[in-house]
Amino acid sequence: MKRRFTFFLGVAALAAMPMALAQSGALGLPKTVEAGSAFSIQSAGSGKAVLYIVGPGQILRRNVQLGEPELFAPGDLHNAGHYLAVLVSGSSTENGAFDVTAAHEPSTLSFLAKPSRVAVDSHDGISGVVYVFDTFQNLVLAPTQVSFQLSGVAGTAQARTVLTHNGVAWTKMNSAAKEGSGQFVAQVGNATGTRVIQQVPGEPCGLRISARPSGQRLAVQTDPVRDCSGNVVPDGTIVTFTETYNGGESTVDAPLKQGVARAEMPAYNGAKISVATGVVLGNEIRWGREQ
Amino acid sequence: MTTGRILAALIAAATVVLIAIATLWPVQSAVAMAGSGASLLSSSSTAQAAVESLAGEIGRQEWEKAYSSLANKSEFTEPEFVRDLTGNYPSIRTYATLDSSDLRPLHASADEAQIQLKLRWSTVVGTFLDTRTLKVVRTDGRSGDRWAVSWPIVKEPRVPPQVIPVNYLRWDVIYRGPADDWGAQDVEAPHVRIVDMHPVDRADGVVLMGELLNEDVVPAFVTVKATLLAKDGSAIASEDSFDKISHVLLPKQVTPFLIAFHDVALSQVDSVHMDPSATLIAASADPVIEIEDQRLNPAPGASFTGKLINQSGQVVNVAHVLGTFYDKNGQLVWVADQYVDRALLPEIPVSFAMSIPADIASKVSSERAITATYSSGRFQ
């Protein structure tokens, strides 16, 4: 009930804002207050009054003695934003406004790194965005230096330093030429955020197969499948073997296991066997007569 | 008083006559409701009646009765007869119910007849046809001459007990948890790409066909949704590929997809909005299925046939074959699919056949087939 009443008074104060702004001369308000810091509001006159502070997500109500400064302890106001102060004394009302800004010292950051999985050798393929917050989770709007570093895979680490703009800093990084997990670290003051970027092999390059007899059938297998940077293509990648013979066709979709895909196919004299993975084609071999 | 007695006698007589007529010549709907055979009094009086009776017993799963009516019982046991119809291992066939049966006399003499029996089984993924050519022979029974079916048993090959070593490969996924902070990234969804798309105007509507590539290094569960847009930008219809796609795509795997829009003409369509979606899932790279002896059979009755060979050690309960057909310029012209009704045992070939529309068949120059599989008890 009390909260409802306080809320009602807050809304009433907001509704009366145009008139209140015209009467703000009697309240000694600071222009800005840093979130979480102590401050005071001076009033004029004598007697008792009630002071309301209405802001984003927070309303304070204080019984004050007019003519004396009203002190607010550290942490009383911690949400950054625009606040209204309303002093109600009997039938008269005085009011004013002030801003609460985020603390200057960054305390935490939110780090968004995309994508979490990227092909190797991808120019500007990794993006990092940092939002800087103070202790009270207010976005720090003052320009703040953010360090980004991508490391962990062979080669030198990439580093960038970026100033925040309206509380946000962002950068783009190249993925490494070698596959592996990279550590993408963002740092602001003592606050750090780390994200893992998996740098994975690109499209297979130079896909080749060979065949040998296996009983009544043919055992076909690829050479170790690598991308154009020499990284081993991950196991599980599907390789399609296609054999054509006498107007017929056989196909096998086989996964790479330990870097090699294997399959058994029928042994037809003169059969053509080709290989592909995704949209990449490999070599073609002919079994039988031409061998 | 006398009139009343005459009326009562007439009603009783008419009731008896109607009961007799209904018993001797029941209407088909009544037979179905009663769950009874085609004719109670002539179940094996002719070759055709014997086959009809057998088909009815198979439909009602009266295995003992069906088996006992066969002429060649000595060649196989009742469980073998049942397994011939329902499969040795759980498969689509196991859960099928007989939708209808047709028979066609092929040859008849005084003591022997040959009749083709088409059993149309109904399943959750559509119907499949089981066609058997039956020899029906005349036998002397206690109640006089009768006809009995000699069942052409198809014994599923048994795989001898053995150990097949498999270098098992699968992906497991740890997803983002509720305790992770706002900025913590979840595992990246797989990157998939539509590499081909082609709309076709058909008699019953518009068909959208295409191919979807998983260009990532992780498995994906994929769906493709399409929205047809009119010239004013309004949506005409929205559909997805449902089961005309292989939903689980391993890295670098390509699946065809087909989306049918019924009662829509291509002339109404100004543009198409395609919405492929991919979700990272735990999956297994096995089993490996070889598709052997793939052949395009020309019209009439154009079809794409082949055999599936399970190169892994586990039994595949359900196999779904998707065929992609191209013209001589490599342009996609049709997508067809077929569920295989029997389980795939290791190294045992199982045939499949999918029909191709006659007008499309003449354009087809090459094809590509893939299989999607399901094994019960396996973590997909």
> Among B344, B284, B345, which residue's Cα sits nearest to residue B319?
B344
Q: Which of A179, A200, A221 is the last residue of a domain?
A: A200
Chain B interface, best mutation among A237, A239, A272, A273, by max B CB count within 10 A: A237
Domain for residue A279, yes or no? yes
- Would the CB atoms of A255 and B294 count as touching at under 8 Å? no
Share of chain A above pLDDT 90, in %: 59
Instruction: State the count of interchain CB pairs (< 8 A) between A and B.
Output: 105
The answer to whether the Cβ–Cβ distance between A116 and B311 falls below 8 Å is no
Clarify whether residues A221 and A245 are in a common domain.
yes
In a shared domain, residues B190 and B117 = no
Is 50 exceeded by the pLDDT of residue A56?
Answer: yes
| Mean pLDDT in residue range A198-227 | 92
C-alpha A187: how far from chain center: 14
Res A164: pLDDT? 95
Distance from B245 to chain A by nearest Cα, in Å?
16
The nearest alpha carbon in chain A to B290 belongs to A252
Q: What CATH number is associated with residue A117?
A: 2.60.40.10
Structural domain contains residue A91: yes
* Cβ-nearest to A248 among B252, B294, B311: B294
> For A116-167, how does the pLDDT look when each residue is reduced to its tens digit (9 = 90+)?
889 998 999 999 999 999 999 999 999 999 999 998 766 778 999 999 999 9
Measure B293 CA to nearest chain A CA, in Å. 5
- Interface membership of A137 toward B (CB under 8 Å): no
| Backbone phi, psi, residue B9, to 5° | -65, -40
Partners of residue A234 in chain B, C-beta under 8 Å: 217, 251
Given A204, A236, A248, which is nearest B171 (Cβ)? Answer: A236
ipTM of the prediction:
0.71
pLDDT of residue B27: 57
Q: Residue A210 in contact with residue A224, Cβ under 8 Å?
A: no
CATH number for the domain spanning B352: value is 2.60.40.10
B217–A195: do the CB atoms touch at under 8 Å?
Answer: no
Query: Is A69 within 8 Å of A27 (Cβ atoms)?
Result: no
Interface contact flag, B289 A252, Cβ < 8 Å: yes
Q: Which of A117, A146, A148, A221 to mutate to test the interface with B (most CBs of B within 10 A)?
A: A117
- Residue among A117, A233, A255 whose CB faces B169 most closely: A255
Give alpha helix (H) positions in chain B.
2-24, 28-34, 47-59, 63-68, 78-86, 358-361
Measured between beta carbons, the chain A residues lying within 8 angstroms of B278 are none
On whether any CB of chain B is under 8 Å from the CB of A230, the answer is: no
Question: Peptide bond before B256: cis, by omega within 30 degrees of 0?
Answer: no
User: Of A170, A200, A230, which marks where a domain is finished?
Assistant: A200
- Distance from the Cα of B346 to chain A's closest Cα (Å) equals 13
The answer to whether residue B158 is domain-embedded is no
Query: For residue B138, what is the domain's CATH number?
Result: 3.10.450.100
Contact B316, B344 (CB under 8 A): yes
Q: What percent of chain A has pLDDT over 70?
A: 89
Block residue for tokens 């009662």: B263
Q: Do A252 and B291 touch (CB under 8 A)?
A: yes
Residue ranges making up the domain that contains B339: 286-374
Same-domain check for residues A10 and A95: yes
Of the pLDDT bands very low, low, confident and very high (cuts 50, 70, 90), residue A19 is very low
Together in a domain, A195 and A209 = no
Find chain A residues with C-beta within 8 A of B183's C-beta. 109-112, 131, 193
* Alpha-carbon distance B291 to nearest alpha carbon in chain A (angstroms): 5
Interchain proximity B288–A253, CB inside 8 Å: yes
Question: In the prediction, which pLDDT does A15 show?
Answer: 43
Give CA–CA dist A219/A263, Å, rounded.
Answer: 6
- DSSP-based three-state secondary structure for B304: strand
Distance CA A4, CA B200 (A): 64
Residues B295 and B272 in one domain: no
Is A255 touching B (CB cutoff 8 A)? yes
Measured in angstroms, the CA of A1 and the nearest CA of chain B are apart by 34
* Closest Cα in chain B, distance from residue A74 (Å): 27
Residues B39 and B131 both lie in one domain: yes
Which residues from B are below 8 Å from A when comparing CB atoms? 167, 169, 171, 181-183, 185-188, 195, 213-219, 250-254, 285-286, 288-295, 311, 367-371
- Kindly report the pTM of this predicted structure: 0.73
Cβ separation A250–B217 shorter than 8 A: no
**Residue A196 and residue A125 in one domain:** yes
The C-alpha atoms of residue B151 and residue B238 are separated, in whole angstroms, by: 48
Q: What is the pLDDT of residue B21?
A: 79
Does residue B338 lie within any of the structural domains?
A: yes
Q: Does residue B293 sit within a domain?
A: yes
The answer as to whether A15 is a domain residue is: yes
- Look at chain A and report how many structural domains it folds into: 3
* Structural domains in chain B (count): 3
Pick the last residue of a domain from A200, A217, A237: A200
Distance CA B217, CA B252 (A): 7
Please determine, for residue A212, whether its predicted confidence score (pLDDT) is greater than 90. Answer: yes
Q: Which residues contact B369 (CB under 8 A, 6 or more apart)?
A: A251, B291, B294, B304, B306, B321, B322, B323, B324
Residues A256 and A271 in one domain: yes
Chain B residues in contact with A265 by the CB 8 A cut-off are: 290, 292
**CA dist B209 → B27, B75, B256, B335, B344 (Å):** 46, 49, 7, 7, 28
Identify the domain boundary among B263, B283, B303.
B283
Query: Does residue B160 lie within any of the structural domains?
Result: no
In a domain, B179, yes or no: yes
Same domain, B97 and B113: yes
Residue contact B185–A113, C-beta within 8 A: yes
Nearest CA in chain B to A249: B294
Please name the residue of chain B whose CA is at the shortest distance from the CA of residue A116: B188
pLDDT in tens, chain B (380 residues): 567 788 888 888 888 888 887 776 665 445 544 544 444 444 678 899 999 999 999 999 999 999 999 999 889 999 999 999 998 889 999 999 999 999 999 988 888 999 999 999 999 888 899 999 999 998 876 556 789 999 999 887 777 777 777 766 878 877 777 776 666 667 788 999 999 998 999 998 999 999 999 999 999 999 999 999 999 999 999 999 988 999 999 999 999 999 999 999 999 999 999 999 999 988 888 889 999 999 999 888 899 999 999 988 889 999 999 999 999 999 999 999 999 999 999 989 999 999 999 999 999 999 999 999 998 865 44
pLDDT on residue A116: 86
| Residue A291 in domain | no
Q: C-alpha angle with apex B77: B71 to B78, nearest 5 degrees?
A: 85
**CATH assignment of the domain containing B215:** 2.60.40
User: Which of A256, A150, A149, A128 is CA-nearest to residue A201?
Assistant: A256
Query: What confidence tens digit (pLDDT) does each residue in A174-211 have?
Result: 998 888 889 999 999 989 998 889 899 988 999 999 99
* Pair B122, B51 in one domain: yes
Torsion from C-alpha of B45, B51, B54, B59, nearest 10 degrees: -130
Beta-carbon separation of B188 and A117 below 8 A: yes
Q: Kindly list the residues from chain B whose CB atom is less than 8 angstroms away from the CB atom of residue A267.
A: none
pLDDT score, position A153 = 67
Q: In what helix (H) or strand (E) does residue A17 lie, and over which residues does it extend?
A: helix A17-22
**How far apart are the C-alpha atoms of B286 and B124, rounded to whole Å?**
25
Domain containing A136 equals 108-200
| A235 to chain B: closest CA residue | B169
CB A220 within 8 A of CB A229: no
Evaluate whether residue B105 is within a structural domain.
yes
Looking at the complex, report in whole angstroms how far the Cα of residue B315 sits from the nearest Cα belonging to chain A: 17
Interface probe with B: pick from A249, A258, A273, most Cβ of B within 10 Å: A249
The pLDDT of residue B157 is 77
Separation in Å, CA of A78 to nearest CA in chain B: 21
Residue A189 covered by a domain: yes
- Please give the radius of gyration of chain B, using alpha carbons only, rounded to the nearest integer: 28
- Residues B292, A250: C-beta atoms closer than 8 Å: yes
Distant-in-sequence, close-in-space partners of B157: CB < 8 Å, separation ≥ 6: B345, B348
- The CATH code of the domain that includes A256 is 2.60.40.1930
Task: Tell me the C-alpha distance between B205 and A202, whole Å.
Answer: 40
The 3-class secondary structure across B322-360, one letter per residue, is EEEEECCCCCEEEEEEEEECCCECECCCEEEEEECCHHH
Question: Are residues A208 and A274 located together in one domain of the fold?
Answer: yes
- Chain-centre distance for alpha carbon A289: 59
Shared-domain flag, residues A184 and A211: no
